[in-house]
Amino acid sequence: MSRQQTKVRISGLGYVGAAGNCVAELQASLRSGCSAIRPLTPERRPHPQLQLAALLATDWDWRTTEIARSLDSAKMALAEKLLRGENSPLQADALAVLEATAEKTFVPERLGLVVGGSNLAHPMLVTELLRYQRNPAYVNPRLAFQALDTHVAATLAALVDAQGPVLNVAAAAASAAVAVVSGLDLIRAGRCDQCLVVGAMQRLSPLDWQALAALGALNTSTVPSLPFFSDGGGFTPGEGAVCILLERVDDDGQYGYAELAGGAFVSAANPLPDASSGHEIRAMKLALADAQMMVDAPDLIVAHATGTAQGDKAELAAIAAVCANGRQPPWLSTPKAVTGHCLGASGGVGLLAALLMLQEQCVYPVSTAATDARLPPTGRFAFGQAIAAPLATVMVNAFGFGGFNAALMVRNLPANTDNAGRL
């Protein structure tokens, strides 16, 4: 089977974050529009100016989650060994992988794994640096490998015995989406038959938060900065880890969530945090071409939509340009209004939301805090409750600082259209 003929199906999903400890809990939050963004008490603020965020609970323990409780004794023992002493984000990544791979079997040498995310050890590095400054005689030797972004990929590979191609990719907030395209390419190239793609949970250091606040990219008000529906005062942070299992299709079976039909990522060749609708258009059109779809194909677009003025304006312009010849404006979905901005993992959260909406044949509502009073004319939105809609194809956008632009295309499976209109 040639590269163009190779079909790739999404056959496993995993999620752990502020919006739920499994995919089903995330689905309930998205379907209801009930946001995980909460006011932060002073002691919970990772930055003094940050008033709102969607963060893991302070008492969160991976061992008490439903995913962990469902593990057999051997898998639990392995998880305990690998995750002992690790930080909560890596533990959340591991749980997402375990949920996506539940009851699945793999040939280790043909299983790949791609982690999207960078600067994943920043909080630990800041802590260890302060300790080093107080006592230069002692340095934790484990820092030599735990401080590398690749430590996440290596740990997750050990958890599922992935002995095929394992790598880490970085593309700022587009990291998870670029990781998905990388996994798609690995399968199309014949380097593996199945590939786990992880949008790693990212927890920033105080230095990172200070820089984002100084840049004006962070929402420091007491009002949620809703994507497309606010004054664009900056993004509201969220924490979440996602895992998507990709699988080569060698028959006409209809199992799975959807077909990963195509994807693309391009550079704007600009190291600054400037949004560019022109390069976003290019990524979206290339993703459609890779999926061999017409430009008016998307029934729904899961937008990157961060709540920043410049970013939201550029994306709306890009969507309008790509869909200008469509029969009607596409449905638009903005999951960050519920989950917060999960940074490098956000493209994975968007893909997961797209797959769940395809399964239910509906469009999830904007957060309950939004109304149609300031409705952008570019697309159609659901308010208050999920709206039944026939969905065949969905585009997922993810854009990041430094000119990283990515788009994904997923196509519904014929067997899933039987659920059309059911909520």
**Residue 416: predicted pLDDT:** 60
Which residue from 74, 66, 61 is spatially nearest to 99, judged by alpha carbons? 66
Please say if the pLDDT value at position 422 is more than 50: no
Q: pLDDT digits over 115-171, tens only?
A: 999 999 999 999 999 999 999 988 989 999 999 999 999 999 999 999 999 999 999
For tokens 């609708």, the residue is: 277
Return the pLDDT at 1.
43
Spatial neighbors of 77 by CB under 8 A, at least 6 apart, are none
Give the orientation angle of helix 206-215 with respect to helix 122-134, to 10 degrees.
Answer: 120
Token pair listed for 176: 């998870």
Strand spans (E) along 172-292: 194-199, 240-249, 258-267
pLDDT 10s digits, 229-238: 767 789 999 9
With a cut of 60, say whether residue 372 has pLDDT above it.
Answer: no
Looking at residue 325, its pLDDT comes to 77
Instruction: Please name which of 22, 18, 11 lies closest in space to residue 71, comparing C-alpha atoms.
Output: 22
For the cut 70, the answer to whether the pLDDT of residue 189 exceeds it is yes
pTM for this one?
0.95
Residue 125, exposed/middle/buried by CB under 10 A (0-12, 13-18, 19+)?
middle
Backbone angles phi, psi at 64, to 5 degrees: -95, 0
The CATH number of 7-419 is which of 1.20.59.20, 3.40.1190.20, 3.40.47.10, 3.30.470.20? 3.40.47.10
The pLDDT of residue 223 is above 90 = no
Mean pLDDT of the chain: 92
Confidence of residue 24 (pLDDT cuts 50, 70, 90): very high
Average the pLDDT over 249-260 and give the result: 82
Tell which phi-psi region holds residue 394, choosing left (phi > 0), alpha (psi between -120 and 50) or beta. Answer: beta
pLDDT value at residue 371: 57
Contact 352, 15 (CB under 8 A): yes
Do 50 and 40 contact (CB within 8 A), yes or no? Answer: yes
* DSSP characters over 140-168: -TTHHHHTSTHHHHHHHHHHHT--S-EEE
pLDDT at 12: 98
Stronger pLDDT, 323 or 21, i.e. the higher one: 21
Q: How do residues 32-81 score in pLDDT, each as one tens digit?
A: 999 999 999 999 998 899 999 999 999 999 999 999 999 999 999 999 99
Tell me what percent of the residues of the chain surpass a pLDDT of 90: 80
Q: Please give the average per-residue pLDDT across 244-273, as a whole number.
A: 90
Q: How far is Cα 79 from Cα 68, in angstroms, rounded to an integer? A: 9
Helix (H) or strand (E) holding 14: strand 7-17
Mean pLDDT of 281-301: 91
pLDDT at 58: 92
pLDDT band at 5 (very low <50, low <70, confident <90, very high): confident
- Return the pLDDT at 230: 66
Q: Are the C-beta atoms of 177 and 351 separated by less than 8 Å?
A: yes
